[in-house]
Structure 1
Amino acid sequence: MTPATAPATAGVEASERAFTMLWNAALHEATRQDLSAPILIARVAREAGIEAMACVGAAVTHDRAALIGHSAELVGMLTLLWATAGVEPEEIWTELHKRERIGTLLHEMAYKPGRPKRRLTRPWRVDSTKLP
Structure 2
Amino acid sequence: MQRIIHLMVTSLPPASPPASVALKRLCRQVGLHATNCTAAFIDDRQQDIVHESALFLQTLHKLWESQDVNPAEVWTELLRRLEVAELLMKLNQPPHRKKRNGKVMRPWRVTTSKLP
Residues 112 and 68 from structure 1, CA distance in 2 versus in 1: closer, same or farther, beyond 3 angstroms?
Answer: closer
| Normalised TM-score (structure 2) | 0.65
Aligned-residue offset at 1:90: 0.8
Structure 2 gaps, min length 5: 1-17, 99-103
How many Å separate the matches in 2 of 1:113 and 1:66? 40
Gaps of 5+ in 1: 1-36
Which amino acid is the alignment partner of residue 69 of structure 1? Answer: H
Aligned mates of 2:40, 2:56 — CA distance in 1 = 13
The within-5 A match list for 1:30-49 is: 38-39=19-20, 40-49=22-31
* Moved >4 Å (runs of 4+): 127-130
| Structure 1 counterpart of 2:82 | 100
Superposed CA offset, 1:66-101 (max 9, x none):
223222211111110111111111101110111111
Residue-pair matches, total: 93
Aligned 8 A contact 1:107 1:128 in 2: no
Task: Give the residue type in structure 2 aligned to 1:46.
Answer: R
Q: 2:11 aligns to what? A: none
Q: Which has the larger radius of gyration?
A: 2
2:110 partner amino acid: V
**Does 1:55 pair with 2:37?**
yes
Shift of 1:57: 0.9
Q: 1:63 to 1:110 in 2, by over 3 A?
A: closer
Residue among 91, 111, 118 paired with 2:105 = 118
Q: Is the 1:55–1:70 contact (alpha carbons within 8 Å) kept by the matching residues of 2?
A: yes
72, 81, 91: which one pairs with 2:73?
Answer: 91
Instruction: Establish whether residue 81 from structure 1 lines up as the match of residue 63 from structure 2.
Output: yes
Kindly provide the amino acid, as one letter, of the partner of residue 125 in structure 1: R
User: Partner of 2:51 in structure 1?
Assistant: 69
- Structure (1/2) with the larger helix percentage: 1
- Inter-partner Cα distance in structure 2 for 1:48 and 1:100: 23
